């Protein structure tokens, strides 16, 4: 009876963290590539990494020909969105029931983790309320698989600035984020933090009407007050901004990262570099949207894609730190590595791209316990067949993913 019970427990229990030694062809430790390195994992942590690692009491995992990297960190996801060529954003926000969106998000979280992204900054549920709080709890409790999440909950927009738009003006239409203005904005920041927001997202600019260009939304005072309230609470702030003025105000307000930055100028990037504000260029979102509109990927690229690349080049020339986040959700969850490939194609050296997606994102998001392969850090690791320095395409299909020392793929 007892033996049967133990057997049943062994079969029913999820894969438990154990002591293992990983033997790949090379290890990228978040900074540099090290041929011949091995990595020892005890429980949830890395305990050794180097050319000669003790193998006593450990199960050896032979990863011949593979490269082992820190678990990748997604800087900009929307687990509650699915690709716009399946359903336009307006229809997702207006017509999809919350339970349907949550069920999709569970599947998206699993796909993200299986793709080797063991941490994700999820920047707004886009109308799905606070459902990310529950999803994050379900992942942490081991109910569903997914990356370690940093969540923004509803995100904040200036009153009237966001969408969906274009309805009878007297009717309240479901919105993709929470609207607030003036002193009420600080109240809303605090309410979102109390509800579970790990990070505050502010839309510093947006299109006021269909066909209009983006224009600044929040005033400098509003952005500064909201950012200070979030920072007081120990939360980072991310600003959606694509105009030079929106980016300038967000930078002066002290936000931690700026998302998109599509129309950034050399001047505003110099300001960001001087202030240490990080740019998340989200090249993959623009690329995906251009393809949904019929672009086949052949050069010359459409104007919007060319603008994103030009802005990214200006940012790099100014010495702005680059975060890696693709705005995944606009395109398929699990294809997160698309952003890394596009950053490299737009001129960023592959080694710098790998650093940015691991140690760089960890530093930008103040996650000192991950993003590198070093003793004491979380055993969040991904192994890919081949050498990503020769071909970033190998990141698309990991052969092994460990989260906290437990194999999830
Ligand atoms: Zn986004």
Q: How far is the CA of 375 from the centre of ligand 1 (A)?
A: 34
What separation in Å is there between the alpha carbon of 366 and the centre of ligand 1?
20
What is the whole-number distance in angstroms between the Cα of residue 84 and the centre of ligand 1? 13
Query: Cα of 78 to ligand 1 centre, how many Å?
Result: 6
CA of 401 to the centre of ligand 1 (A): 25
The model's pTM is: 0.95
What does the pLDDT profile of the chain (409 residues) look like in tens digits? 444 444 444 343 445 679 999 999 999 999 999 999 999 999 999 999 999 999 999 999 999 999 999 999 999 999 999 999 999 999 999 999 999 999 999 999 999 999 999 999 999 999 999 999 999 999 999 999 999 999 999 999 999 999 999 999 999 999 999 999 999 999 999 999 999 999 999 999 999 998 899 999 999 999 999 999 999 999 999 999 999 999 999 999 999 999 999 999 999 999 999 999 999 999 999 999 999 999 999 999 999 999 999 999 999 999 999 999 999 999 999 999 999 999 999 999 999 999 999 999 999 999 999 999 999 999 999 999 999 999 999 999 999 999 999 999 8
Ligand 1 centroid from CA 201, angstroms: 10
Residue 214, C-beta contacts closer than 8 angstroms, at least 6 positions apart: 205, 206, 207, 242, 243, 246, 263
Neighbours of ion ligand 1 (CB under 5 A): 327
Q: Report how far Cα 404 is from the mean position of its chain's Cα atoms.
A: 19
Q: How far apart are CA 96 and CA 99, in angstroms?
A: 8
| pLDDT of the residue at 210 | 85
pLDDT at 16: 67
User: In this predicted structure, what is the pLDDT of residue 52?
Assistant: 92
Q: Residues spanned by CATH 3.20.20.140 within the chain? A: 72-364
The token pair at 171 is: 């009717």
Q: How far is the CA of 237 from the centre of ligand 1 (A)?
A: 14
What is the CA(116)–ligand 1 centre distance, in A? 20
Q: What is the topology classification, in CATH, of domain 72-364?
A: TIM Barrel (3.20.20)
Are the CB atoms for 176 and 169 separated by under 8 Å?
no
According to the model, what pLDDT value does residue 15 have?
59
Q: Would you state the structure tokens that stand for residue 252, as one six-digit string?
A: 């002066």
Query: Using CA of residue 286, residue 292, residue 296, residue 299, what is the dihedral sign?
Result: negative
Question: Do 224 and 239 meet the contact criterion of CB atoms below 8 Å apart?
Answer: no
| Residue count (the chain) | 409
Q: Report the alpha-carbon angle 80-157-332, nearest 5.
A: 25
pLDDT attached to residue 409: 84
How confident is the model at residue 344, as a pLDDT?
Answer: 98
- Contact between 32 and 353 under an 8 Å Cβ cutoff? The reply is no
Distance CA 270, CA 326 (A): 23
For the four alpha carbons of 121, 124, 128 and 131, in that order, the dihedral sign comes to positive
In which residue ranges of the chain is CATH 2.30.40.10 found? 12-70+372-407
Q: In this structure, what token pair is assigned to residue 97? A: 């029931």
Separation of CA 262 and ligand 1 centre (Å): 13
Taking the centre of ligand 1 as the mean of its atom positions, its distance from the CA of residue 259, in whole angstroms, is 8
Distance from Cα 122 to the centre of ligand 1, integer Å = 8
Q: Ligand 1 centroid to 76 CA: how many Å?
A: 6
CA of 395 to the centre of ligand 1 (A): 22
- Ligand 1 centroid distance, CA of 75 (Å): 10
The pLDDT of residue 217 is: 98
Nearest-10 Cα torsion for 14, 20, 23, 27: 80
**How is residue 360 annotated by DSSP?**
I
Q: Which helix (H) or strand (E) holds 216?
A: strand 214-216
CA of 386 to the centre of ligand 1 (A): 31
Domain spanning 12-70+372-407: which CATH class is it, in words?
A: mainly beta
Between the CA of 308 and the centroid of ligand 1 the distance, in Å, is 15
Ligand 1 center to residue 278 CA distance, Å?
Answer: 15
> For position 361, what pLDDT does the model report?
98
């Amino acid at each position: 009876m007892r033996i049967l019970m133990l057997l049943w427990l062994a079969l029913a229990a999820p894969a438990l963290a154990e002591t293992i030694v990983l033997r790949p062809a090379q290890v990228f430790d978040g900074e540099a590539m090290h041929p011949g390195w091995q990595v020892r994992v005890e429980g949830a942590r890395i305990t050794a990494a180097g050319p000669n690692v003790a193998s006593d009491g450990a199960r050896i995992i032979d990863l011949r020909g593979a490269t082992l990297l820190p678990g990748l960190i997604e800087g900009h996801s929307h687990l509650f969105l699915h690709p716009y060529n399946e359903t336009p954003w307006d229809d997702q926000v207006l017509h999809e029931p919350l339970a349907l969106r949550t069920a999709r998000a569970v599947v998206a979280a699993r796909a993200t983790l299986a793709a080797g992204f063991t941490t994700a900054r999820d920047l707004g549920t886009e109308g799905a309320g606070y459902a990310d709080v529950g999803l994050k709890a379900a992942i942490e409790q081991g109910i569903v698989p997914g990356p370690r999440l940093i969540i923004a909950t509803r995100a904040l927009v200036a009153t009237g600035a966001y969408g969906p738009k274009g309805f009878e003006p007297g009717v309240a239409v479901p919105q993709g984020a929470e609207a607030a203005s003036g002193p009420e904005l600080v109240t809303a920041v605090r309410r979102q933090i109390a509800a579970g927001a790990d990070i505050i997202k502010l839309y510093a600019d947006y299109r006021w009407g269909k066909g209009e260009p983006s224009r600044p939304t929040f005033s400098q005072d509003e952005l500064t007050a909201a950012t200070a309230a979030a920072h007081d609470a120990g939360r980072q702030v991310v600003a959606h901004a694509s105009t030079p003025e929106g980016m300038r105000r967000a930078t002066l307000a002290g936000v931690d990262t700026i998302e998109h930055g599509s129309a950034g100028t050399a001047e505003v990037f110099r300001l960001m570099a001087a202030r240490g504000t990080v740019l998340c260029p989200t090249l993959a979102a623009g690329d995906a949207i251009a393809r949904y509109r019929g672009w086949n990927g052949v050069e010359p690229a459409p104007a919007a894609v060319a603008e994103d690349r030009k802005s990214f080049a200006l940012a790099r020339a100014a010495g702005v730190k680059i975060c890696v986040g693709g705005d995944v959700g606009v395109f398929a969850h699990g294809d997160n590595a698309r952003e890394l490939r596009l950053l490299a194609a737009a001129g960023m050296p592959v080694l710098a791209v790998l650093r940015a997606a691991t140690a760089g994102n960890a530093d930008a998001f103040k996650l000192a316990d991950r993003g590198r392969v070093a003793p004491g850090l979380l055993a969040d690791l991904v192994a890919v067949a081949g050498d990503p320095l020769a071909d970033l395409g190998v990141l698309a299909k990991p052969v092994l993913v460990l989260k906290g020392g437990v194999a999830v793929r």
